[in-house]
Amino acid sequence: MKKMSLLFSLLAMGLSASAQKINIYHKGWVDFNKNGRMDVFEDPKQTIDKRVEDLLSQMNVDEKTCQMATLYGYKRVLKDEMPVERWKTEIWKDGIANIDEELNNLTSHTDDAPTQYSYPFSKHASAINTVQKWFVEETRMGIPVDFTNEGIHGLNHDRATPLPAPIGIGSTWNKQLVRRAGQTVGREAKALGYTNVYAPILDPARDQRWGRVVECYGENPFLIAELGKQMVLGIQEEGVASTLKHYAVYSVPKGGRDGSARTDPHVAPREMHQIYLYPFRRVIQEAHPMGVMSSYNDWDGVPITGSYYFLTELLRQQFGFNGYVVSDSEAVEFIYSKHKVAGDYKEAVRQAVEAGLNVRTNFTMPQTFILPLRELIKENKISMKIIDSRVGDVLRVKFRLGLFDNPYVKDPKAADKLVHTKADADMSMQVNRESMVLLKNENKLLPLDKNKYKNILVTGPLAAETNYAVSRYGPSHNPVTTVLDGVKNYMGAAAKISYVQGCKIVDATWPESEIIDTPLTPAEQAGIDSAVAQARLSDVVIAVVGEDVDRVGESLTRTGLNLPGRQLKLIQALQATGKPVVMVMINGQPLTINWENKYLPAILEAWFPSVQSGKVIAETLFGDNNPGGKLPITFPKTTGQIEFNFPFKPNSQAGQKGQNSWGKTSVNGALYPFGYGLSYTKFEYSNLVVSPETGNSQGDVTVTVDVTNTGQRKGDDVVQLYLKDDISSVITYEYDLRGFERVSLNPGEKKTVRFTLHPDDLALLDKNMNWTVEPGTFQVWIGQSSEEIKLKKTFRVQ
């Protein structure tokens, strides 16, 4: 037997050596399995389903299970920048589903991954080809790898085109611009060798304390669906996959808590469908993304990643998703370790795979998932029918991406001309400009007159900071222009620009100082005094305050939403000088800036802008950029109001001055409502027309309205359409966003804005949880925010 074994080993080695000598690349096809003939799966003329079926029939269990796991890229899990001989003994000798963030040179607090192969861009494309070549030529079946990467702030790659934080993208309310941003992300991914981008995030940010508000498009499901759809279409138009995050009900952990919590969302079934699943359903049905990432939270006691209802019944059978599901990191492990609905990790693997998970991702070696999965198959605890179905989904995406026809980047050198071009930088700058939201402008202090202010103080802990412009989920190593430098560059020799930090972002006792006020230290008092002294010598003060990457983001939920640390004390001291104070906010979530709103004359919301932050903020403060962004999320006055968001059920956010209401015990109303944002010019609405005024439940309704710039400056306005269902069989939201359009108008210019309401826009979930358009009257409201409604008209559905 030993002799026979040795003989087979020698034969295998000989076959392997001869396979390496065989030319597998032929005109129009690749001999992936190296058998010297064109199999059905290798034939580009065959249908994808036939190719998948043929490939599956030739794969063994080891190869199939390898197509169900992620290998995290170099420095995260993979120890080698390039293939080495040892790979022949690693588990991926039988292939791998995807390699994530490979050689992207990420810089972050948690995952530094320097590499020599990220730049120039052509060097990375060639490096990806080298890794892909190993899998095509050195594995038995030659199945190409899907190279995945993050992309919510722009592609997560060294010096790729950066974008503002998603909450800033959401503030643009510009569908066409988001489509262009998606195209840029997709084109750059394709040029660099990535084939799948983890973007966009479709989670509605309903709790303003949650740390990842900064990475969401906002709180309203319709706004998120519309922008998310455009991002997916833009990415996939460039020939790469878009993977949606984070499915599902991920963004409302109890109390907004993140980190180790990330669990127990208190969401009723109807609310789940109307708010949290709505963006996923619409984007899947209208943009057909090839990927979905399953989240690591539960809903109603069942982990999402172990839920057949979520991963199969809803996602595939109802929504029509036909790509593959990848787990968020540790989502499978949490079934056992956190949620404790499995007795051991192997049982967690079984639950996830049977539920519908295709590919497991975690920051551990892929065999930690693959080996238990193989044991389950061997023990007949998972059927090969399920395995073939899960693997088939992965292979189908790889065929759709063209990896079995062209597994390599065709022209690596072209990447140097395709990534972060001048046009891309201009697009990125435009997103930055359009994300600016003007919150207050008393007595038209803004825009600042360049000729009037000759001594300008730039102060505040964010004035010279840069870290907010670089995200763990976006590009790195792009030079950043601070707000201080932006103002200096803009003004040049026209004014004297002074800088005093004033205070740090937080004090030594923060976050305890949010609940226990402590005296200023001598150093803190001196910092504020220094800023005050310089303010007295200045004509105007630009105070740059807010949060940085250590104060908001993943795992960084806050318990209070005031300006952190001593920043309010700095603002109060500056305001007491009598000099005009313009507050610029760099932050990732709504802040409860009540005192600031009451006493400061001007406030500009910049969110987490991208690397051109200083330039775009200076342009906005001095009038070259007229801010036209609108808030995609409600600013509450206090965390005691939370949940406080839009849309809301009738009277659920009422004050204490109505029917069956009395007393004076609470602060009521929003600080700034959803959809709010000022401009340096004025707009008027007229001629609202709804057609037909009486229609049927299957027909569209057309709405037109005229908007006119009645001011003296060119500017953008976001025309917002809200829909109110007067009487319904179940309680619906008071009114909800069902259309928006950003328009740019010169002084005196008028445009007609056209909306089309589809039956889905009028539908509700009835008592039997079926989407239904009920007969009755509906009101169309046109406004400049969810509270500033200008025109109304009623139509009837029979």
Q: Is the pLDDT of residue 16 over 70?
A: no
Please report the pLDDT score of residue 3 as a whole number.
43
Options 203, 207, 298, 328, the catalytic residue: 328
Query: CA-to-CA distance for 656 and 246, rounded, in angstroms?
Result: 37
Pair of tokens at residue 638: 């206090």
Give the pLDDT confidence of 626-679 residue by residue, as tens digits. 999 999 999 999 999 999 999 999 999 999 887 778 889 999 999 999 999 999
Give the pLDDT confidence of 729-749 residue by residue, as tens digits. 999 999 999 999 999 999 999
Give the pLDDT confidence of 739-794 residue by residue, as tens digits. 999 999 999 999 999 999 999 999 999 999 999 999 999 999 999 999 999 999 99
Please report the pLDDT score of residue 283 as a whole number.
98
Please report the pLDDT score of residue 2 as a whole number.
45
The verdict on pTM exceeding 0.75 is yes
Give the pLDDT confidence of 345-374 residue by residue, as tens digits. 999 999 999 999 999 999 999 999 999 999
| Mean pLDDT, range 3-30, rounded to an integer | 61
In our burial notation (b when 16+ CB lie closer than 10 A, e otherwise), range 406-436 reads ebbbeebeebbebbbeeebeebbbbbbbbbb
CA dihedral angle for residue 215, residue 219, residue 220, residue 223, rounded to 10 degrees: -30
Please report the pLDDT score of residue 15 as a whole number.
41
Under DSSP, is residue 497 helix (H, G, I), strand (E, B) or coil?
A: strand
Q: Is the pLDDT of residue 306 over 60?
A: yes
Q: Is the pLDDT of residue 13 over 50?
A: no
Residue with tokens 């949606």: 244
Percent of the chain with pLDDT over 70: 97
393 flagged as catalytic: no
Q: Is the pLDDT of residue 255 over 50?
A: yes
Mean pLDDT lowest for which of 111-115, 140-144, 219-223, 275-279? 111-115
**Rg of the chain in Å (alpha carbons):** 28
| Mean pLDDT, range 480-494, rounded to an integer | 98
In the structure, what pLDDT confidence band is assigned to residue 6 with cuts at 50, 70 and 90?
very low
The reply to whether omega before 237 is within 30° of 0 (cis) is no
Q: Which residues neighbour 434 within 8 Å (Cβ) at sequence distance 6 or greater? A: 171, 172, 174, 177, 628, 629, 716, 742
Give the pLDDT confidence of 258-272 residue by residue, as tens digits. 878 777 899 999 999
In the structure, what pLDDT confidence band is assigned to residue 12 with cuts at 50, 70 and 90?
very low
Handedness of CA 301, 307, 312, 315 (dihedral sign): positive
Query: CA-to-CA distance for 228 and 219, rounded, in angstroms?
Result: 13
Mean pLDDT, the chain, integer: 95
In the structure, what pLDDT confidence band is assigned to residue 486 with cuts at 50, 70 and 90?
very high
DSSP H helical segments within 22-47, as ranges? none
Please report the pLDDT score of residue 319 as a whole number.
98
Give the pLDDT confidence of 557-612 residue by residue, as tens digits. 999 999 999 999 999 999 999 999 999 999 999 999 999 999 999 999 999 999 99
Q: Is the pLDDT of residue 690 over 60?
A: yes
